[in-house]
């Protein structure tokens, strides 16, 4: 996980120059600055954003967390930072259920076991408009695939095509608005 955390840092920096980057690991969104959580040890999302803010002049950041689980780690880390805008779409009745961390979410969306691809994509359809309105200088996109049918922990039913369409929606919106985006694939199990 330490190397994956470095991958998120390097990928975030690279996106500032290339426009888009992907770390095939990372996205340990249950870890925060002072503790691990879930299957996550290192808070790679928070570390990467802090490095970009401190050393690369980035002020306004957007986290788009589309993993099946609430991203309570980065939410706790940035709860007092108005320059970090958080969109989180998750299944609300599974781990972690962190009500305190939820207070940091600017746009909270939900996905349920009854949702099919079209329902899910309809829920996410507001995100391109939010990106355009908020005009972040950088987007960290946690693209969890645990929303897929058959995942034993999420119990959700989005198929492969739905995941691809979701990722295209987010990346195209970032590129259209000329906002660097780093995509991490979310992990921990």
Catalytic residues: 30
Please state, in angstroms and rounded to a whole number, the distance separating the CA atoms of residues 24 and 177: 24
Please state, in angstroms and rounded to a whole number, the distance separating the CA atoms of residues 71 and 17: 27
Question: What does the CA dihedral 106, 87, 133, 178 come to, rounded to 10 degrees?
Answer: 150
Question: What does the CA dihedral 59, 170, 86, 81 come to, rounded to 10 degrees?
Answer: -10
Are 189 and 153 in contact by the 8 Å Cβ rule? The answer is yes
């Amino acid at each position: 996980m330490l190397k994956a955390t470095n991958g998120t840092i390097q990928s975030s920096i690279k996106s500032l120059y290339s426009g888009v980057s992907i770390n095939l690991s990372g996205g340990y969104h249950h870890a925060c600055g002072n503790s691990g959580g879930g299957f996550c040890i290192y808070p790679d999302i928070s570390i990467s954003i802090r490095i970009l803010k401190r050393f690369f002049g980035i002020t306004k950041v957007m986290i788009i967390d589309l993993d099946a689980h609430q991203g309570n780690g980065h939410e706790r880390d940035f709860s007092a930072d108005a320059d970090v805008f958080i969109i989180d779409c998750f299944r609300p009745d599974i781990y972690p259920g962190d009500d305190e961390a939820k207070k940091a979410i600017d746009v909270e969306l939900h996905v349920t076991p009854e949702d099919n691809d079209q329902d899910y994509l309809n829920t996410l359809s507001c995100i391109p408009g939010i990106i355009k309105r908020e005009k972040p200088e950088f987007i960290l996109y946690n693209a969890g695939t645990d929303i897929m049918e058959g995942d034993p922990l999420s119990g959700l039913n989005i198929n492969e095509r739905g995941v691809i369409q979701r990722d295209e929606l987010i990346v195209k919106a970032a590129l259209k608005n000329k906002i660097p985006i780093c995509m991490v694939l979310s992990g921990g199990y």
